[in-house]
Chains A and B, each alone.
Chain A
Amino acid sequence: SVLLYQKPNRDICQSGTSLKIQCVADSQVVSMFWYQQFQEQSLMLMATANEGSEATYESGFTKDKFPISRPNLTFSTLTVNNARPGDSSIYFCSSPGTGGYEQYFGPGTRLTVL
């Protein structure tokens, strides 16, 4: 298994600003992902964070809006650029950890954009 930590656990920002969400794993992991969850809805995969290279984005998500960095095997940052009220949601990082397929999720970052 793997333990994932996220920072901040919640944030409130003004429209038009940018904010960063950090995800740290307690061990080196090959795969790391970012998910978005709107209130009372399901989780949607945003992107795969690739170590040392550009993230792979799912349909509907772009690197200009949600740039993702993954400088090493324990760390990833999701940035929300030009935040809008429609970006208000919970953002989760996840990873299957080492040697397994079961996915583990961080505690989530609850973002409110005013």
Chain B
Amino acid sequence: GDQVEQSPSALSLHEGTGSALRCNFTTTMRAVQWFQQNSRGSLINLFYLASGTKENGRLKSTFNSKESYSTLHIRDAQLEDSGTYFCAAEDTEGADRLTFGKGTQLIIQP
């Protein structure tokens, strides 16, 4: 099975609202990254976490390695937040190799 299970696969929000994306890991992960892929296909780094919680503007992410999950919270969603969000994790064997979740397609509606 997949090492990184991401949910939901798709999400539609109205501007100004918020929600959470989640990744569950089936094996112990050393660190997790969250990316936004925009309409041009570029991957934008959102967060890198080896543990704990980070916040940046309207985004907040948590990584709990013991319970094998990570979350990305979006609040006060804006139209420019639309895109596909990926979590990607590095297992304890490391070597910087990332395993990606299948992504969440986020649509922000006016």
Task: Tell me the A residues contacting B by CB distance below 8 Å.
Answer: 31, 33, 41-45, 48, 90, 92, 94, 96, 101-105, 107-108, 110
Pair A48/B103 contact, Cβ less than 8 Å = no
CB-CB under 8 A from B52, the residues of chain A are none
Known: A42-B101, A43-B100. 20 other contacts (CB 8 A): A31-B95, A33-B96, A42-B100, A42-B102, A42-B103, A43-B86, A44-B100, A45-B98, A101-B31, A101-B50, A101-B90, A103-B88, A103-B96, A104-B45, A105-B35, A105-B43, A107-B40, A107-B41, A107-B42, A108-B43
The A-contacting residues of B in range 69-110, CB under 8 angstroms, are 86, 88, 90, 95-103
Task: Tell me the B residues contacting A by CB distance below 8 Å.
Answer: 31, 33, 35, 40-43, 45, 48, 50, 86, 88, 90, 95-103
Which of B35, B50, B100: most chain A Cβ within 10 A? B100
**Least CB separation from A1: chain B residue:** B45
- Chain A: interface secondary structure? strand
A42, A48, A90, A107: the one contacting B97 at CB < 8 Å is: A48
**Contact A42-B86, Cβ < 8 Å, known A108-B42, A110-B41:** yes
A24–B82 Cα distance when bound, in Å, is 29
Pair A31/B100 contact, Cβ less than 8 Å = no
**Contact A103-B86, Cβ < 8 Å, known A92-B43, A110-B41:** no
Rounded to whole Å, the gap between the CB of A28 and the closest CB of chain B is: 15
A105–B48 Cα distance when bound, in Å, is 14
Number of A-B contacts (CB under 8 A): 50
**Least CB separation from B84: chain A residue:** A40
A95–B3 Cα distance when bound, in Å, is 21
A48–B90 Cα distance when bound, in Å, is 14
CB-CB under 8 A from B45, the residues of chain A are 102-104
Pair B41/A90 contact, Cβ less than 8 Å = yes
CB-CB under 8 A from A94, the residues of chain B are 98
Rounded to whole Å, the gap between the CB of B22 and the closest CB of chain A is: 16
